[in-house]
Chains A and B, each alone.
Chain A
Amino acid sequence: MSGAEFVPLSLTPLLIGICVAIACALPGNFLVLRRQALIGDAISHVVLPGIVVAFLITGVIAAWPMLLGAAGAAIIAVAAIEAIRRLGKIEPGAAMGVVFTTMFAGGVLLLEQSDTSSVHLDVEHALFGNLESLIWLDATGWRSLLDPQALRGLPVELARMAGAMLVVATFTFFFWRPLKISTFDEGFAQTIGMRTQPLGLALVIVSAVAAVAAFDAVGSIIVIAMFICPPAAARLMTNRLEHQVAWSVLFAALAAVFGYVAAGYGPIWLGHGSSVSAAGMIATVSGVILALAALWAPHRKRGGDAMHTGSDTTP
């Protein structure tokens, strides 16, 4: 593979994929442990109406209005789920199901009603994303990485996704101890004066930031997969949270790289003409990793090693 071909066509989608995977996998670790794994699913469904409304108001496809719209929709969804849960005394899973299906239906309806055919905004795009199209046309080879002129032509999604990853990583780093303690023992965290509710909300918001930033670039399906599969596979590898997070980052990056390569080059190697959806393939590879972990990882069973869990995971 020559640099002249690889750098402009594959380097940026690959990097964006890795950033998405890591940005989602990091908060995913805590969501999986807190049994909130499906929050990623809910968020990625509800951002659709937010993006459509943002488009209808501004009339353009631009990054900031869309991010704001998506974030607004995510906040409305969280509030609505909480309101329905409390006002109707309904269990959280069902409340979530009511809200995210309705908001998604509303988004689809708005899309169909408004004239969005002239712009690149449709449901398939929202679901699958279009990772393959985020190419770096100004690059000519590896040397372009040092060329300021060419660097200016980098897809904006790369910078945005790298930024989101940085936000998520910073949050995880600075709130490591509180997150860890409140995840494993909320009661203990409260007795030592930790404010676990705002912390839980902050975790959801950070997850939403990652999901919304990724949604625009790569579609929603990869977001859900990365929130859950790498952390779940990592959970089966170890009993220590530090190691689990490290494993999850590794698995996420592996899924992004192998998924992208398999989608872009696999069909060609197999003699098939066109490439397949990179986002779908990355999700598939993350599933393969999880399946391998579920079959052979050292800590896949529950129970048996409960004693270790107790001693190893306390801070």
Chain B
Amino acid sequence: MILDALSLQLGYNATLVTLGAMLLGMAAGVGGTFLFLRKRALVSDAISHATLPGVAIAFMIMVAFGGDGRNLIGLLTGAAISAAFGLLCVSWLSTRTRLAEDAAIGAVLSVFFGMGIVGLTVIQGMTSGQQAGLEGFLLGSTAGMLRSDALVIAVSAALTLVLVMMLRRPLTLASFDPDYAAASGQNVARTDLAMMGIVLAVTVVGIKIVGLILIVALLIIPPVTARFWTDRTDHVILISGLLGGVAAYVGASLSAALPNLPTGPIIVLTGFACFLVSLLLAPRRGVLAAVLRHRKFQRRVHLRQGLLALAQGQPIYEKLTLRLLRREGYALPDGVATQEGRGRAGRALLDETRWQLIRRDPSFEAAAAHYDGLTPIERVLTPDQITEIDSRIPAPQGVHP
């Protein structure tokens, strides 16, 4: 059953929904990247909550004109208008008053959502119109979605994706380095507006599938996840779009195949699973890589300190140090240096002595800044400089290799 869903064997309607969700996930992943790079991820939270009053008012207007109020395009138009108004309020509050952007976001999201709830309760009291399914906008629902609805979503998600792809260069530049973008003649304010327009479009299209509370996740989680795998902006965009698409595809398929699995939460949790894997396993920025790096560094420090102790004939009590020395063949189990160990220890001591000398000499200040107890001095100074330093080492010069 799950395999059927993943391979799009559940009928035309389910296939359309799954593909629509995938396109939406890709658009959200790509569009969200610019939001994330611009450090304005939570603005999307205000936008998504601000869609609710629009949905409610659009429903009421459509009922007032004699419809049953369930026309998806009508509802989404209402959502877009009120979300745009909410976005306007956020930017007005955060630029024209002394309130910070986070307060503006919080105020707009709570007040608009409150108004939307008032609207929903008004609708509940209404006798005409078919209100069933309006709650689907809160948490998303694909069950009972009409074929035409699925088509609307798939087409608008595809259009949004194309729009993002067309605008990706100016958007990348503006989110990566707004000052440079402005200096090179780009209208950053207009690019920002375009970015917000894309986020708005993704949000409005997505609320039927993911729900207005969880659409934020589709805009935030994929870019954050993608950031773990690469340092290049264009790769972040690509990976993020891919992850968003995969999460939405898998989530929508699972939800179509299994009863009682609401689409929105499943998509979000799939995305989070990708995030968790990346957080732990990503090659350079992941937790596992960081732990390994730390352990490697720790071993190098222990080995170095152990060699210095050997060179100075001090006993080694630290167990890890002793084990490392033994494994490298520098010491016997009782802590006595081997032939090779004595040579290594001598070199370590010489290196340390040279470092001590240049760190005391102000004329080597720049080189001395590289001292971390591990870097060999040959990497910082030229052979001539080292010869010069060596001439200052007083005889007897300790253990020689």
In chain B, residues 259-312, which have Cβ atoms closer than 8 Å to a Cβ of chain A? 260-262, 264-266, 268-269, 272, 275, 279, 285, 287, 290
What is the chain B residue whose CB lies nearest that of A289? B111
CB distance from A161 to the nearest CB of B (A): 19
Distance (whole angstroms) from the CB of A4 to the closest CB of chain B = 26
- Collect the chain B residues with CB atoms within 8 Å of residue A294's CB: 92-93, 96-97, 99
Q: How far is the CA of A95 from the CA of B285 in the complex (A)?
A: 15
Contacts of B124 in A (CB 8 A): 274
B residues in contact with A32, CB < 8 Å? 99-100, 103
B-side interface mostly: helix
- The one of B93, B113, B223, B262 in contact with A283, judged by C-beta atoms closer than 8 angstroms, is B113
Residue of A nearest to B39 (CB): A91
- Confirm or deny: B107 has a beta carbon within 8 angstroms of a beta carbon on chain A: yes
The one of B96, B213, B227, B264 in contact with A90, judged by C-beta atoms closer than 8 angstroms, is: B227
Interface residues on B, range: 35 or more
Report B-chain residues with C-beta under 8 Å of the C-beta of A275: 121
Shortest CB-to-CB span from A223 to chain B, Å, is 8
Partner of A276, one of B102, B105, B118: B118
Residues of A within 8 A of B275 (CB): 98
Asked if B106 CB lies within 8 Å of chain A CBs, one says yes
Main SS of the interface on chain A? Answer: helix
Interface positions of A from 23 to 80, Cβ below 8 Å from B = 32, 35-38, 40-41, 45
CB distance from A124 to the nearest CB of B (A): 7
Of all chain B residues, the one with the shortest Cβ separation from A276 is: B121
**Contact B260 A113, beta carbon cutoff 8 Å:** yes
B228 and A284 form a contact (CB under 8 A): no
Chain B 306-343: CB-based contact to A (< 8 A → 1; otherwise 0): 00000000000000000000000000000000000000
A232 vs B110: C-alpha distance in the bound complex, in angstroms?
13
Which of A45, A94, A106 lies in contact with B36, CB distance below 8 A?
Answer: A94
B117 touches A127 (CB 8 A): yes
Instruction: Decide if A96 touches B102 in the complex (CB within 8 Å).
Output: no
Interface residues of A in 88-130 (CB under 8 A from B): 88-91, 93-98, 101-102, 104-106, 108-109, 112-113, 123-124, 127-128
Question: Would you call B106 and A224 a contact (CB within 8 A)?
Answer: yes
Known: A101-B216, A127-B138. A228 touches B103 (CB 8 A): yes
Within 8 A of A (CB), among B65-104: 92-93, 96-100, 102-103
- In the complex, B122 has a CB within 8 A of chain A: yes
Q: How far is the CB of B301 from chain A (nearest CB, A)?
A: 22
1/0 per residue, CB under 8 A from A, across B109-125: the answer is 11111111110111011
CB neighbours (8 Å) of B117 from chain A are 127-128, 221, 277, 279-280, 283
B264 adjacent to A105 (CB under 8 Å): yes
* Chain B residue nearest in CB terms to A306: B98
Q: Is A222's CB within 8 Å of the partner chain B?
A: yes
* Chain B residues in 8 Å Cβ range of A267: 122, 125
Q: Is the CB of B279 within 8 A of A87?
A: yes
Tell me the complex Cα distance, A234–B275, Å: 39
Complexed CA–CA distance, A105 and B269 (Å): 7
- Using CB atoms, name the residue of chain B closest to A94: B41
B110 pairs with A90, CB closer than 8 A: no
Known contacts A32-B103, A276-B118; A284 and B111 CB within 8 A of each other: yes
Counting CB contacts under 8 A, is A302 at the interface?
Answer: yes
Task: Point out the residues of chain A lying under 8 angstroms from B260, CB to CB.
Answer: 112-113
**B250 interface hit (Cβ, 8 Å):** no
Are A38 and B102 closer than 8 Å at their CB atoms? yes
CA separation between A281 and B115, bound complex, in Å?
Answer: 7
| Pairwise interchain contact B138-A97, C-beta atoms closer than 8 A | no
| A221-B114 in contact given A89-B285, A101-B221, A299-B98 (Cβ < 8 Å) | yes
Residues A290 and B107 in contact, CB atoms below 8 Å apart: yes
Is B23 on the interface with A (CB-CB < 8 A)?
no
Cα distance A10–B105 in the bound complex, in angstroms? 32
Asked if A300 and B221 sit within 8 Å, CB to CB, the answer is no
Give the distance to chain A from B240, nearest Cβ to Cβ, in Å: 12
Among A94, A101, A128, A301, residue most surrounded by chain B Cβ atoms (within 10 Å): A101
Contact A301 B98 (CB under 8 A): yes
Q: Is the CB of A286 within 8 A of B224?
A: no
Q: Which of chain B's residues have a CB closer than 8 A to the CB of A300?
A: 97-98
Chain B positions within 8 Å of A124 at CB level: 135, 138
Report the bound CA distance from A303 to B95 in whole Å. 11
Query: Which of B107, B118, B120, B264 contacts A229, CB < 8 Å?
Result: B107
> Can you list 10 pairs linking A and B with CB atoms under 8 Å apart?
A35-B100, A37-B103, A38-B102, A97-B42, A108-B265, A112-B262, A128-B117, A221-B113, A280-B120, A303-B98
Shortest 7 CB-CB contacts between residues of A and residues of B? A283-B114, A287-B111, A280-B117, A101-B217, A302-B98, A225-B110, A105-B268
